[in-house]
Amino acid sequence: MSTIVVAHTVRPRHTRRWLDGVVLIVVLAVLWQVLSEMLGPDAITTPWRTLERAVHIVSDPDFPASLYVTAFAFGSAFLISAIGGVCLGMLLGARKLAGDVMEPLMMGFYSIPKVTLYPVVLLAFGLGLWAKIVFGVMHGIVPITIFTMNAVRNMPPIYTRAARTYRLSPFAFARHVLLPACVPEVVAGLRIGFSLTLLGTLIGEMFASQSGIGHMLMIAMNRSETSTIMALALMLFVFATLVNLLLLAWQRHLTHST
Amino acid sequence: MNTAARWRLGLVVGLIVLLEIASRAAWIDPISFIPPSRMVVSAVQLLLSGQYTTDILQTLGSALLAVALAVVAGFIGGVLLFRLPRVRRVLDPLLLSYYAVPVFVLYPILIVVLGLNRWPLVGIGFLFAVVAMAVNTLNGLERVPRVLLRTARVCRLNTFDEIRLITLPSSLPFVFTGIKLTVVYAFIAVVAGEFVLSGSGFGYQIAFAYNNFDNPTMYGLMVLMLLFVSSLNALLRTAEARLYRRIRREAV
């Protein structure tokens, strides 16, 4: 009897987490509705209208082309950031002096408003795909590098000694020792780098571009089409949150399994 | 000065000299990338001419207002989250993924709501910065030793005195990290907002100079911006390192 009562009062943990998520979404939706009632539907579109508008935008025949442009620029930028950041981070983590030299420089670069440097990127790479990719990489590569570097530095020193005993080549050392030892932190870095790369690509498209999601945002902004802006923002938020939750789950899985 | 700092200085100076030579010798297009020495000359001229003083002050003012609002709201938010664990558990996914979402996309909406003036910039700076402040405050509050909180209860301190005398001093380094991030994020957001769409300010003037092919002005403004932000960061980092050192000494 008592076991049944206990089973009823204490719900399993994952159910509670799901419930929390539902509560959060409902509260946010209600807040949004109230805000739009207060400020008028012209200033902030209601959640339902925004969803309708999002469906409308997605079914627009021009949308796949814009999506493809942005997705291609963002995908290449993120790929370059991830590979470059992990390689650079391992290099700087393994060489102590190089890491000490570069870390404050990278932190300084991380905290400047990089948007102001976008004109230089545009002048160097021309108006087009490459400027967007380079700008996305500029945003995303630093956190990935820093996370990887710190992970390599905090690695138990016995790994390095074991690798030396086996006379591993630097490449084999990176491949078989550094990378597996640092995967959880690398995933954490990728999580931060992901959003920053997305931000960089979008700002790049908003400032100077002829196509893509950022360009659509800019057009809607100039026409004061709130519903379009909100629908695009909602889609971006949902996409970024989903990817973030996936990476977070992967990160937790990795830290628990090791 | 240690070895790493010397290397760093050498690296930066070497890079600037390389750019100077490359630009003067026309290895890279000298029209789109002017020599660093001319950038500095242009920066000094811009500063002396006083033509951009209003824009600089406007940007600083907006960023400062955003920082002040974000620090106050973030601190209160952090304390509330600490006091209400149930709310915190619900908000946890939001706090974790807040910086994974391009919050900047909200800037157009803020323009529609608040009009094309300085307020959307303050708003986006605030939104960018406030969560970092709240999370760091929460982080700091969690590290306040239990025994101090119990002492506060024994002495029957009221909530305000408890925050003033116990909580704030012992979580200060973490709160300061929050303030540092707030300054950095607010500045980034305000300048980015001005750059993308606004009628005045530092970011706007850079975009304006770019659109008019006025490269000396553009690079001069960039140099000013870089110098200002890096010295601000250096100051904040030094203060932060000192605070953490003090805490570690007290712990020993």
Domain boundaries, chain A: 2-44, 61-257
User: Is B14 within a domain?
Assistant: no
Q: In A, which residues are within 8 Å of B111 by CB distance?
A: 221
Work out the percent of chain A whose per-residue pLDDT is above 70.
93
What CATH number corresponds to the domain at position B105?
1.10.3720.10
Give residue-wise pLDDT tens across range B137-163.
888 888 888 888 888 888 888 888 887
B252 — pLDDT class (breaks 50, 70, 90)? low
Cβ pair B91:A24 closer than 8 A: yes
What is the distance in angstroms between the Cα of B170 and the nearest Cα belonging to chain A?
27
Q: Can you tell me the mean pLDDT for B170-187?
A: 87
Could you tell me if residue B17 is inside a domain? no
pLDDT of residue B182: 92
Chain B residue with minimal CA distance to A242? B97
Examine the pLDDT at A71 and tell me if it is beyond 70: yes
CA B9 to chain centre: 24
Contacts of A36 (CB under 8 A, 6+ apart): A43, A44, A45, A46, A47
Q: Nearest by CB to A116, from B104, B195, B197: name it.
A: B195
> How distant is the Cα of B141 from the closest Cα of chain A, in angstroms?
23
Contacts of B12 in chain A (CB under 8 A): 105
Residue type at A159? Y
Mean pLDDT of A225-235: 85
Whether the pLDDT of residue A99 is over 90: the answer is no
pTM of the model: 0.82
pLDDT score of B251 = 63
Average pLDDT over all residues of chain B: 85
Q: Nearest by CB to A101, which of B4, B99, B202?
A: B4
Residues of chain B with C-beta less than 8 angstroms from the C-beta of A138: none
User: A157 φ, ψ to 5°?
Assistant: -65, -20
Superfamily of domain A61-257: MetI-like (1.10.3720.10)
Distance (Å, whole) CA B61 – CA B186: 11
Residue A10 banded pLDDT, cuts 50, 70, 90: very low
ipTM: 0.79
Interface test mutation site (partner B, options A70, A111, A222, max chain B beta carbons within 10 A)? A111
CB pair distance less than 8 Å for B188 and A111? yes
Q: What is the mean pLDDT of residues A54-71?
A: 87
Q: Report helix, strand or coil for A224.
A: coil
Cross-chain CB nearest to B100 (options A97, A217, A241): A241
**pLDDT reading at A203 higher than 70:** yes
Per residue in B198-218, pLDDT (tens digit) is: 778 888 888 888 888 888 888
Among B101, B195, B212, the strongest candidate for a mutation testing the A interface, having the largest count of A CBs within 10 A, is B101
Interatomic CA distance for residues B109 and B216, integer angstroms: 34
B44 part of a folded domain? no
Whether A1 shows a pLDDT value over 60: the answer reads no
> Distance (Å, rounded) from C-alpha B240 to C-alpha B252?
19
Question: Does B222 sit within 8 Å of A195, measured CB to CB?
Answer: no
Q: Which whole number is the average pLDDT over B22-35?
A: 79
Task: Kindly give the residue spans of alpha helices, DSSP state H, lying in chain A.
Answer: 2-9, 13-39, 47-59, 63-94, 96-111, 118-125, 129-153, 157-165, 170-173, 179-207, 213-222, 226-257
Whether residue B99 lies within 8 A of chain A, CB to CB, comes out as: yes
Residues in B touching A111 (Cβ below 8 Å): 184, 188, 229, 233
Rounded to a whole number of angstroms, the distance from the CA of B42 to the nearest CA of chain A is 16
Cβ atoms of residues B62 and B126 within 8 Å: no
Q: Look at residue B45 and tell me if it is in a domain.
A: no
Q: Which of A39, A104, A202 is closest, CB to CB, to B102?
A: A202
Distance, in Å, from the CA atom of B99 to the CA atom of B126, rounded to the nearest integer, reads 13
- Work out the pLDDT band at A76, boundaries 50, 70, 90: very high
The whole-number pLDDT of residue A258 equals 57
Contact map slice: B 12-41 vs A, CB within 8 A: 12, 32-33
Q: By the 8 A CB rule, do B203 and A115 touch?
A: yes
Cross-chain residue pair B225–A113, CB shorter than 8 Å: yes
pLDDT at A115 exceeding the cut of 70: yes
What is each CA distance from B90 to A25, A243, B77, in whole angstroms?
Answer: 10, 19, 14
How many contacts, defined by CB atoms under 8 Å, are there between A and B? 145
Instruction: Place A3 in a pLDDT band, splitting at 50, 70 and 90.
Output: very low
Q: Which of residues 100-159 of B touch A (CB under 8 A)?
A: 100-102, 104-106, 108-109, 111-113
The predicted pLDDT at position A252 comes to 84
Q: pLDDT value at position B112? A: 78
| Helices and strands (DSSP H and E) totals, chain B | 12, 0
Shortest distance between the Cα of A166 and any Cα of chain B, in A, equals 31
Tell if the CB–CB gap between B233 and A198 is shorter than 8 Å: no
Mutation test of the interface with chain B: which of A46, A74, A112, choosing the one with the most B Cβ atoms within 10 A?
Answer: A112
Give the tens place of pLDDT for each residue, B67-101: 999 999 999 999 888 888 888 888 877 787 787 67
Interface touch A21/B93, C-beta < 8 Å:
yes
Given B97, B188, B197, which is nearest A244 (Cβ)?
Answer: B97
pLDDT exceeds cutoff 60 at A119 = yes
CA nearest B193: which of B75, B99, B84, B111? B111
At A95 the three-state DSSP class reads coil
For chain B, what is the domain count? 1
Kindly report the number of other CB atoms within 10 A of residue B140's CB atom.
23
Sign of the C-alpha dihedral, residues B78, B114, A199, A237?
positive
Calpha distance A9→A101 (Å, rounded): 57
pLDDT of residue B222: 87
Q: Is residue B4 part of a domain?
A: no
Q: Give the H/E segment covering residue B249.
A: helix B215-251
For residues B197 and A77, the model is more confident at A77
Residue A155 DSSP class: S
Token pair for A200: 């960089």
The verdict on residue B92 lying in a domain is: yes
Question: Helix or strand or coil: residue A101?
Answer: helix
Would you call A202 and B32 a contact, using CB atoms and an 8 Å cutoff? no
Question: Which residue range(s) make up the domain with B189?
Answer: 51-251
